[in-house]
Homo-oligomer: A and B are copies of this chain.
């Protein structure tokens, strides 16, 4: 195993959950060393946090500009190689662009940008940069999601003809039904939160998952949102009819007001020969429906799994892996790419996935606003 990769982190300080998730993921496979970054917009807070997590403070910077300037002056073998962008959404684009323009690798939280337009600019930037770029669609890191993808690719369920993806959460409920709260929360202010709440935040994960597992692309969609109140401008819930090729249809269902649901992401893919189903809250089970044979339940770590799946399993069967492991698998893939090692297609979500996501979100909004008409994706 070669030397660890020098990782800079932008955002994710203090009590940030996303900070914990990325930090742990970077540790798990012994590939990264956190070298510096900008944990907080306030420099003092950044320094304080660095001390708390025992990171040397000499490479904690005031802002990204300072980081880039200083790091570029360092010899290449000391320089931060890759930055994780964990800042508020609207900063993803300018930060990613700056990093790519200066030759850094990037791990970017989702959504990659706030508009499809920005996403396409970033895509062009990456082409010039030629570095590694990953968007953390975390759920693609689960061993059984990877197994699903490989089985579909191998033809286990035959030609796909129907897909159904759900992402139901309920946490917006106490906010949306309170007139006071819903007029003040930044999440429901389109100026701050972008053009979509439910579809932009979680629907896009469901979208990503079905493209990831099937290898097919959504060609067009028809969307209906629910805003719940006349004075609310952000979608709290949406259902999207999709077409993924001739006679290949499906639905993406997303909600932030499915009261009591926690993180209910699930996907079901049906083909001519069988079906495959997976649920994020029980991520270690993959259900194979294969009439006329009995239902089968695939679990991580067994030799019947594909290389891509086994590669993301660290312990023997029966030791449940969770969300940290999923994110860690993505960091592992990125590490291999940065080092120029061979890696499997699907090990981490790329710029292309990020671009698709924005294309999807803007299309759903367009479809809904134009009166639930079909809108094609690029």
**A residues apposed to B, CB below 8 Å:** 1, 3-4, 17, 20-21, 23-24, 27-28, 30, 33, 51-54, 157, 161-162, 164, 169-170, 173, 177, 222, 224, 226-229, 237, 239, 241, 247, 249-251, 253, 255, 257-264, 268, 270-275, 280-284, 288-299, 302-304, 314-325, 372, 374
Residues of B within 8 A of A259 (CB): 157, 270-275, 289, 291
Q: Which residue on B lies nearest to A301, using beta carbons?
A: B262
Contact B20 A289 (CB under 8 A): no
Contacts of A299 in B (CB 8 A): 262, 294-295
The answer to whether A280 and B226 touch across the interface, beta carbons within 8 angstroms, is: no
Which residue in B53, B164, B229, B264 is a CB contact (below 8 Å) of A247?
B229
CA distance A282 to B239 in the complex (A): 26
Q: Roughly how many angstroms separate A51 CA and B3 CA in the complex, as a whole number?
A: 7
A243, chain B: closest CB distance, angstroms: 9
Number of copies of chain A assembled together = 4
Q: Looking at the complex, which one of B30, B227, B270 makes contact with A53 (CB distance below 8 Å)?
A: B30
Partner of A282 from the list B173, B297, B320 (CB cut-off 8 Å) is B320
With A1-B52, A291-B260 as contacts: A247 and B228 at CB distance below 8 Å: yes
Give bound CA distance, A336 to B177, whole Å: 42
In whole Å, how far is A50's beta carbon from the nearest beta carbon of chain B? 11
| Nearest B-chain residue to A138, judged by Cβ | B319
Task: Report whether over half of chain A's contact residues are helix, strand or loop; otherwise say mixed.
Answer: loop
Q: Is the CB of A372 within 8 A of B222?
A: yes
Look across to chain B and name the residue whose beta carbon is closest to the beta carbon of A229.
B247
Taking the closest CB of chain B, its distance from the CB of A225, in whole angstroms, is 8
- Contact among B30, B224, B318 for A264, CB-based, below 8 A: B318
Interchain Cβ contacts under 8 Å between A and B, 26 examples = A17-B316, A20-B314, A27-B27, A27-B28, A30-B53, A30-B54, A161-B226, A161-B257, A162-B257, A173-B291, A222-B222, A239-B250, A255-B270, A259-B273, A259-B291, A260-B291, A261-B270, A263-B316, A282-B282, A291-B302, A293-B296, A294-B298, A322-B322, A322-B325, A324-B325, A372-B372
**CB distance B283 to A320 under 8 Å?**
yes
- Which residue of chain B is the closest to A297 with respect to CB atoms? B295
Known A251-B253, A270-B257, A315-B20; judge A292-B282 contact (CB<8 A): no
